[in-house]
Amino acid sequence: MKIVVLAGGLSTERDVSLASGAGICKTLRERGHEAFLLDVYLGFPYDADKLEEVFTLPGAGLEIAEGIKTTEPDLVAIKASREDQSDCFLGPNVIEICRMADIVFMGLHGDVGENGKLQATFDLLGIRYTGPNYLGSALAMDKGIAKKIFKMSGVPTPLGTSIKKAQKDVELAELGLKLPVVVKPCSGGSSIGVYIVNTEEEYREAIEKSFKYEDEVVIEPYIKGREFACGIIDGKALPVIEIIPKTGFFDYANKYQAGATEEICPAPIPDDIAEKMQRATELAFKSLKLDIYSRADFLLDDKGDIYCLEVNTLPGMTATSLLPQEAKAAGIEYGELCELIIEKSLARYNA
């Protein structure tokens, strides 16, 4: 098949996305597909009459992936590097190349890649893509809305609320909360802009910093506990994985700095707790109207209670990312996982 692996963009998770995309592209080419790695924002300036050639180019576009840094990407510099300096999110020839493909593998993370806007655009243009539909993506990306849906659907989740920038001076007591709390952007990813605060001063500082990322933040009680994730494919949960950062919590640096985190799959927890996480994952997936695949993140406190923090609709897809590790524990190797995602996604269009 001709497959565009779409990655990059202008998200704070840009580098993560490029690493995921490179892994997906390489394994698909190894398995006989004509795959090409394409940056959704920078695009591919190329002779319009020869675009079909991109699927057989020796480099497969992989030169754009430089690996994941431990700091957030400089998005201002990325914008400045675009040749046409257009304010359009879609770079040169992106739509044209995607329309030539049998399917677009969504290797994007965060922002436009996961909020449903790109999925809706592709639906209108008749471009087939992998991963959840536009509605499920939009619901899951907004942590404030997702939390409300979890509460209504019976998915265990921390109490809490979301506030707009105009409410930033509101007191915690007025929100029904008390220290310590977690402050995080409503639609962010990779734990960027997430703060655990213990004092009023730290809280005010976290609020100011979080609002630099977007106009709405989520505030919820801090729950001390072990960290877990549970992937899901086609409505069925995978084995649970435990995430053990050597220091702090599973933030951006711990996610992507080599050796900073230990991951164990299947997680060393009692079967009944693993089962609860798996059922909660499936319920969250269904309640958010998702399809194809995703990954839910959990906390387990010392009382044995579980809390679903969020659902990632396009989770990391390097060979060592959480979802591929869980799939491997279920007997699905990395290349098979990539093809399974394509197979399930194509079935949506043939139904």
User: What's the pTM?
Assistant: 0.92
84-98, 160-174, 236-250, 276-290: which range is least confident on average?
A: 236-250
Give the architecture (CATH level 2) of 226-350. 2-Layer Sandwich (3.30)
Q: How confident is the model at residue 251 (pLDDT cuts 50, 70, 90)?
A: very low
Instruction: Assess whether pLDDT exceeds 80 at residue 271.
Output: yes
Supply 53's token pair.
């050639």
Round to whole Å and give the CA distance between 249 and 261.
9
Q: How far is CA 54 from CA 37, 40, 45, 50, 113, in A?
A: 9, 15, 11, 8, 22
Between 322-329 and 334-350, two packed helices, what is the crossing angle to 10 degrees?
100
pLDDT at 73: 86
pLDDT at 284: 98
Q: How confident is the model at residue 274 (pLDDT cuts 50, 70, 90)?
A: very high
Quick one: average pLDDT of 312-329?
95
pLDDT at 70: 62
251-260, 285-294, 299-308: which range is least confident on average?
A: 251-260
Q: Mean pLDDT of all residues in the chain?
A: 92
* Element spanning 196, H or E: strand 195-197
What percent of the chain shows pLDDT beyond 70?
93
pLDDT at 247: 60
CA-based nearest residue to 136, from 339, 261, 317, 314: 314
Quick one: average pLDDT of 148-164?
95
Quick one: average pLDDT of 87-108?
97
pLDDT at 11: 86
- Give the residue extent of every domain in the chain: 2-129, 159-221, 226-350
- Tens-digit pLDDT profile for residues 101-133: 999 999 999 888 999 999 999 999 999 999 999
Give CATH for domain 2-129.
Answer: 3.40.50.20
Top-confidence range, 62-71, 171-180, 213-222, 329-338: 329-338
Q: What string of DSSP letters covers 262-299?
A: EEESS-SS-HHHHHHHHHHHHHHHHHTT--SEEEEEEE
Give the architecture (CATH level 2) of 159-221. 2-Layer Sandwich (3.30)
Round to whole Å and give the CA distance between 351 and 346.
9
Instruction: Report the SS3 class of residue 174.
Output: helix
Instruction: Assess whether pLDDT exceeds 90 at residue 66.
Output: no
Q: How confident is the model at residue 25 (pLDDT cuts 50, 70, 90)?
A: very high
Q: Cα 335–23–318 angle (5° rounding)? A: 90
pLDDT at 190: 44
Instruction: Assess whether pLDDT exceeds 70 at residue 346.
Output: yes
Contact 4, 104 (CB under 8 A): yes
> Is the pLDDT higher at 192 or at 179?
179
Give the other-Cβ count within 10 Å of 164's Cβ.
13
